[in-house]
Amino acid sequence: MIRDLCDGQLEGAEIGSTEIMFTPEKIKGGIHTADTKTAGSVCLLMQVSMPCVLFASSPSELRLKGGTNAEMAPQIDYTAMVFKPIVEKFGFKFNCDIKMRGYYPKGGGEVIVRMSPVKQLNPINLTDRGSVTKIYGRAFVAGVLPFKVAKDMAAAAVRCIRKEVRDLYVNIQPVQEPKDQAFGNGNGIIIIAETSTGCLFAGSSLGKRGVNADKVGIEAAEMLLANLRHGGAVDEYLQDQLIIFMALACGVSRIKTGPVTLHTQTAIHFAEQLAKAKFSVKKSEDKEDASKDAYIIECQGIGMTNPYL
């Protein structure tokens, strides 16, 4: 996909290969289609393409096909409800239009992403977590699965959250995905906590054959609660997705996180190698974090400028 976005050369990109050689050329805007042909995640296609098309010569429309709610990747709901509002703090906007949802193993989903290039990205500061003001989400079923499954996931998640968060109304909507907007069968849940300073945290889970609905709901609730305990201002999945943007931005970005994940360490390693950005990761010294596992990730961005604007 990236090869096509920039008329580049790509060698060794086949199954079993241990080395690839990529030579990029000019990043051009316009309409691009990428199809995983499986339930391979459209959200991962979006992750890899977005930093590139921000520095394209004209606006882009990316037609991404595959799994929208797939294992081992962000669900499209996470991308739209958590990643999007936070990443837009870097100073750009994008539109994410879910045409069709697709699930494991067939995929068949389609998402259209539209965005305009920027001259430069602004740095961000996400260190003030604030207090949780609302918790909401959606529990969905698609295809032949009964609506009761969505209701059971939502109810189990609410019960689990109630044990720790007693003073907030938890609003998780059960949803039957319309037949014309979902390909195949699937079920899952995403729950989001929003804070007084605009921070967003999520927990999510996907149903699997033989796993009861309550268990799926509880797994998502427990993931959210774990992300609320550590005192960071981003959840464990957002932390690694912000690294590339911090590296490219102009100026110093700071984010407060919980324990730094291996994904984030890897993203930092490659951002330093490839972009020559400088990162530091330190334990948070705030008094209220003394008992918590909180870290400050700081980056001196390279101030990438778009040569075409």
Binding residues: 47, 237-241
- Give which of 245, 243, 248 is closest to 297, Cα–Cα: 243
Element (H, E) at 63: strand 60-66
Burial of 61 by CB count in 10 Å (0-12 exposed, 13-18 middle, 19+ buried)? middle
Burial string for 281-303 (b: 16+ CB within 10 Å, else e) reads eeebeeeebeebebbbbbbbbee
Instruction: Measure the CA–CA gap between 193 and 170, rounded to whole angstroms.
Output: 9
Active site residue 230: no
The residues, any chain, with a CB within 8 Å of residue 36's CB and separated by 6 or more, are 42, 45, 65, 66, 67, 107
Beta-carbon contacts of residue 114 (< 8 Å; ≥ 6 apart): 59, 60, 61, 62, 94, 95, 97
- C-alpha to C-alpha distance for 206 and 228, rounded to whole angstroms: 20
- In angstroms, the CA 29 to CA 50 distance is 11
Which SS3 state, helix, strand or coil, does residue 241 take? Answer: helix
The tokens describing 175, both together, are 């949803």
Cβ neighbours of residue 142 closer than 8 Å, sequence gap 6 or more = 101, 103, 176, 177, 182, 184, 185, 186, 187
**Annotated binding site for ATP, which residues?**
47, 237-241
State the catalytic residues.
263
